Amino acid sequence: MALNEQDVRHLRRCVALAEEALDGGDMAFGSVLVSAEGAVLAEDHNRINSHEPTWHPEVALAHWAAEHLNETERARSTLYTSGEHCPMCAAAHAWAGLGRIVYASSAEQFSGWCAEWGLPASPVNPLAINEVAPEIEVAGPVPELAEQIRELHKRYFGIKDGHKS
């Protein structure tokens, strides 16, 4: 499914939230939950260092939605995110009955960047969302935004000239 102007606007907000996370010492991930009518319902960013290690924005927003939205509202919502969900977040999204996901950069891209920079593998396999939750409608990545996110991750990991310094 092609992305429209509104999709790209929400993804840009996710990139800004990812940068906010980075500025606060967390990993550069940000997400926005949007209603069927296009209203921003909630947003969050990564808080693994400032709060606790499972505080990924996508799982935080799944918890928020389960508490604040009814079943129909959850199913009709769209979750925008700077980086494709990890398996924990994809499972939380599906268990919460949330709708479409649009991501700016993929899990495959992120694990590829980490390998390229000589970083240790993630403790969780980088499965695509649909490998975890096959019924979720998914769109992404967006090359121009993925490039911006790559730069944010480089800053987080202190990558200079393609290697960890």
Which positions touch Zn ion (CB under 5 A)? 56, 86, 88-89
d(CA 86, CA 80): 14
CB nearer to Zn ion: give 14 or 89: 89
114 forms bridges with which residues in the sheet? none
Q: What is the token pair recorded at 56?
A: 């990924």
CB closer to Zn ion out of 8 and 127: 127
User: Are 150 and 22 in contact, with CB atoms under 8 Å apart?
Assistant: no
Minimum separation from the CB atom of position 56 to Zn ion (A):
3
User: Which token pair is 37?
Assistant: 């009518």
96 and 115 Cβ atoms separated by less than 8 Å: no
Supply the minimum distance, in Å, between the C-beta of residue 64 and Zn ion.
15
Q: Least distance (Å) from Zn ion to the CB of residue 118?
A: 23
CB of 85 to Zn ion, least distance (A): 6
Q: Which is nearer to Zn ion, 41 or 86 (CB)?
A: 86
What is the phi/psi pair of residue 87, to 5°?
A: -55, -40
Closer of 6 and 122 to Zn ion (Cβ): 122
